[in-house]
Amino acid sequence: MNVNSKHIATFLLGAAAGAAIMKYNSMTSEEKEEMLTKLKEQATDLKEEAEKATTTVSNYMEELKEKGMASLKDFLGDTESKINDIFNSPKKAS
């Protein structure tokens, strides 16, 4: 049987989970409560950071879109109006 990095990682994760369970079981109820409170605070902080990052990325993408469109219009000039004229012009009867 060949041992690769996935097997080693699985073993290490299992060992870490076992150690965490042993540590948790040896804690007093007060220590458990304190740990859960800290975890909840950290989770709340991470959620707030993720929401800020989402807003920042959204704003950045909107700005990038606006600047890209402005650059495209500068590059193409009045091509947009010419295309609109072509497609919106009344059709001649044949």
Distance from C-alpha of 2 to C-alpha of 68, rounded to nearest angstrom: 52
2: left (phi over 0), alpha (psi -120 to 50) or beta: beta
User: What's the burial of 84, exposed, middle or buried (CB within 10 Å: 0-12/13-18/19+)?
Assistant: exposed
pTM over 0.95: no
- What are the extents of the domains in the chain? 29-86
- Alpha-helix residue ranges (DSSP H) falling in the chain: 5-25, 29-76, 79-88
Per-residue pLDDT of the chain (94 residues; tens, 9 = 90+): 577 888 899 999 999 999 999 988 888 889 889 989 999 999 999 999 999 999 999 999 999 888 888 887 777 777 777 777 788 866 655 5
